[in-house]
Amino acid sequence: MPVLALLIAALAQPAAAQQLRENNIAADLVAEGAPVAGETLTVALHFRPKDGWHGYWSNPGDAGLGMQLDWDLPEGWQAGEPQYPVPHKLTLAGLMNHVFKGDYAVLVPIVVPAGAVVDSRRPITLDAEWLACTDQICVPEGAQLTLRYPQADGGANPFDGWRAALPPMIDTQARFSVAGDRLRIAIPLPASMDLANLHVFVGQDRMAADRHMAYAAEQSFFRDGDLLVAEVPLIALNLPPNSTQAAFDPLQQVTGILAFGAPANGVRFEAVPGEVPTGGERISGSAPVTAPLWTLILAALAGGLLLNLMPCVFPILSLKAMTLVRAGEGEVQARRDALAYTAGVVLACMAIGALLLVLRAGGQQIGWAFQLQEPGVVVALLVLAAVITANFAGVFEVPSLSVSGNGGGGSSFATGLLAAFVATPCTGPFMAAALGAALLLPPEQAMLLFAVLGLGLALPFLALGYVPALRSRLPKPGPWMNTFRRVMAIPMGLTALALLWLLTRLGGREFALVALVVTVGVLIALAVTGLLQRRGKLAWPAFGLIAAPFALAGAFILPAVYAQAEPGGGASILSPVNYSEAALAEARASGQPVFLWFTADWCVTCKVNESVAIERESTKDSFEVAGVVAMRGDWTLRNEEITRFLTEQGVAGVPLYMWYPADGPGEQLPQVLTPQMLADLAAS
C-alpha cells in the first residue's frame, strides 16, 4: 500500500464518528430484491459524491485509500468480493489515482445459505469507511449502513444501470509474467475488436519482492492475433538490508480491468502465470528507444544544424545576420561573440528541455514547443519582437544589449537566448528522432541531447568565430551596417505581425487587440526614450512611466478576455475530421484510407507543407476519388490526446503526418511533403 494511503489510514476516524458531520460522499446500502434461501442476493453500495469530490477504486493507485467494509451478517451468510465499475485516471503532481467522479455503485454478492430462515431475518448492517477527496484535500469518511429492500412501487430498477456499468469478465483466462521493470499481460480478445484509449487498471500493487506498480508511467499495447499484450511499467522498491518485506511469495494471480474506448468501457480479467508472447503489432504506447546514444547525439547535432535552414527560423535571420557581421570585427572579438552566442543558445535549449521534462514528470501531457501554446508567452514574444523591430529601425538604443552595436559578449549571449527560444518550436527530420527519444531516455541523457541540439543550432556561428577563412568571406564592418540594420527591421516587423495573428488563433480577436494596445503603449514609450536619448537626456525613467500603465492594464485585462475566448480551427478544403483517439479508431474501422496530419498555427513548417501539398485541389480530388478520410490534429493549444499520440510515434512536436491504408498498419510520412506525395498515396 502506498505511503500516503498508510498515513490516511492511520488518521482515519471510526465510522461512528464520521456520522457527526455530513459526508462529502453520501452512501446508501440497497438490495436488488428479497433474500431467498440457497441463492445469491445482490446488494449495492450507492455513492453520491458532491461536485468536485471523488471516491476510489479497490486499488487507489499512487495515493488514496480503498474502501473498507465490515459486514454484520446472519450466521452462514457470506459477502463476496465487491464489483466496481471502470474507474477513471486522475493524475495530480505526477501521481496517478484510480477514482470515480459522479454517482456510482459498487455491487456485492451475498450468498444466502440453503435452509436459511429469511422471513424473520434480522437487519443486515455494514460499517463502511472510504476516502473522499478533491484535487486539493482528502477527508476520511464512513457510515453505519442498514440494508434497505426494494419497495413494490413499480419504479425503475436502478440495478439494471448499475450492473450495466460493471465491466464483464472475459470468458478465457489471461496470462502474465514479470520480467525486470515490466509486468506483461496477455489478454484474450478477438482480433476484430476495435480498441482505442487503452489502459490497464491492475488490482495488485506489488508484483515482485523488489517491484511495484508505476501507475503514472505510460503503458504499451501490442496485438498478436487474438491476444492483446499489455506492458505495464514497474518501479524498483528501495528495501533496506534484511528487510522483512523482502520475503515475497510469487503472485499466483493478477486481476484487473482493461479500459478502452469511452471512459465507461472495459472488461475484467484474471491472469495466471504463463508465457506471454513477444513482438506483435504495437497499437498504443511509445516505442522503446533502441538506437544507440551516439546516433541520437549525431541526430540532435544535425537537427540543430539544419534548423538554421528551416522556414520557421526566418523571423530571427536578422539577429543571425547582425551576429555574422559582428564576427568580422577581429579575431578576439569574433571568438568571444561566438562563444557567448553559443552559450546563450545551448543554455536556452537546455532550459526549455529541463522544463519540459519536469512538467512531463509532473503528469503534464506536453511536447516540444509547449511554450508557444501559452498565450502569455506569445504576448511577451510579440512585445519583444516589436521592441527589436524598433531598435533595428533606430527608434531607440540599448548599447549594452544592441545586436548591431558594441554590446560585446552580453549582446551575443542575449541574441543566442532569443534565437533558440524563437527557433526551437520547429522540428526537422533528424531533430524529431532525437527529441522523441529524449522524452523516453533517463534525464541525464535527455539533457545531453538538448545541449547537443543547441550546439548544432549555434555551430555555424561558432565556426565563424574560430575559422579565419570563413570570417574572411564576410563583409567588413562599415557605415553600410546602419542601413542593413534598418532593412533587418522588416523581417522582425513581419515576425511581430505573425505573432499578432497567432494571438487571434490562441485567444480570439479581442485578446489580440488588447495585446496590440499593450505593444503600442510600449512602442510609444520607446519612441519617447529614443527622443530623449538623442537629446542627451536621461531616458529610461520616462520609459517606465509611460509603459507601466499599459503593462499593468494588460496584466489584468488579458486573462479576463482570454477566459471568454473561443478560438477555433482554421478552414481546410479537405473538410477534415478533428482528431481524437475514438475518431481515428472509427475512421480506420470504416475500411477507407486515412490521412492524419498534426499541425499548429505557430509552426511555420506546418503551414508551408499545407500550402505546398495538403491544401491543394489536386490533393482534394485524389482523396475524393479514393475515399480517403482526412483527419487533422490542431496542436496550437494544448491537447493531451495529441501529445500522447505524438509521444507514441516517437516524436516530440509537429509537424507529423500519418498515412493509414485501407488495410494494414499506418506509416509515418516525411516531415517535408512534396506536392504530389499525397495524391500518389491516394492513387496507390
All three cell numbers of 167: 465491466
Same domain, 50 and 189: no
Q: What is the pLDDT of residue 619?
A: 92
End-to-end Cα, the chain, rounded Å: 55
- The verdict on residue 67 lying in a domain is yes
All three cell numbers of 256: 484487473
How many domains are there within the chain?
4
Same domain, 313 and 455: yes
Same domain, 202 and 348: no
Q: What is the pLDDT of residue 188?
A: 93
Same domain, 264 and 309: no
Q: What is the pLDDT of residue 613?
A: 92
- The verdict on residue 505 lying in a domain is no
Nearest CA to 640 out of 422, 421, 409, 366 is that of: 366
Q: Which residue among 431, 462, 487 closes a domain?
A: 487
Q: What is the pLDDT of residue 82?
A: 95
Range of the domain at 645: 577-683
Q: What is the pLDDT of residue 61?
A: 92
Q: What is the pLDDT of residue 69?
A: 95
Between the alpha carbon of residue 547 and those of residues 476, 528, 544, 682, the distances in Å are 38, 10, 5, 55
Place of cell 503489432: 281
- The verdict on residue 543 lying in a domain is no
Interhelix angle 317-326/480-487, rounded to 10 degrees, is 170
Chain centre distance of CA 212:
24
All three cell numbers of 679: 495524391
Same domain, 140 and 270: no
Question: What would the 3-class secondary structure string for 579-647 be?
Answer: CCHHHHHHHHHCCCCEEEEEECCCCHHHHHHHHHHHCCHHHHHHHHHHCCEEEEEECCCCCHHHHHHHH
Same domain, 273 and 309: no
Nearest CA to 632 out of 596, 592, 679, 588 is that of: 596
- CATH number of the domain bearing residue 72: 2.60.40.1250
Nearest CA to 603 out of 398, 369, 447, 393 is that of: 369
Q: Which residue among 117, 146, 164 closes a domain?
A: 164
- The verdict on residue 513 lying in a domain is no
Count CA atoms within 13 Å of residue 213 on its CB side: 24
Same domain, 13 and 160: yes
Q: Which residue among 461, 487, 513 closes a domain?
A: 487
- The verdict on residue 222 lying in a domain is yes
Same domain, 440 and 359: yes
Between the alpha carbon of residue 346 and those of residues 383, 426, 447, 616, the distances in Å are 24, 16, 11, 39
Same domain, 211 and 276: yes
H or E stretch covering 224: strand 220-224
- The verdict on residue 677 lying in a domain is yes
- The verdict on residue 220 lying in a domain is yes
Same domain, 302 and 251: no
Same domain, 202 and 317: no
Same domain, 314 and 224: no
The residues of the chain scoring below 70 in pLDDT are: 1-21, 119-121, 151-156, 239-246, 262-263, 285-290, 310-330, 361-365, 398-409, 424-430, 432-433, 565-569
Q: What is the pLDDT of residue 219?
A: 87
Q: What is the pLDDT of residue 170?
A: 93
What pTM does this model have? 0.61
- The verdict on residue 196 lying in a domain is yes
Residue 77 CA to residue 669 CA, distance in Å, equals: 63
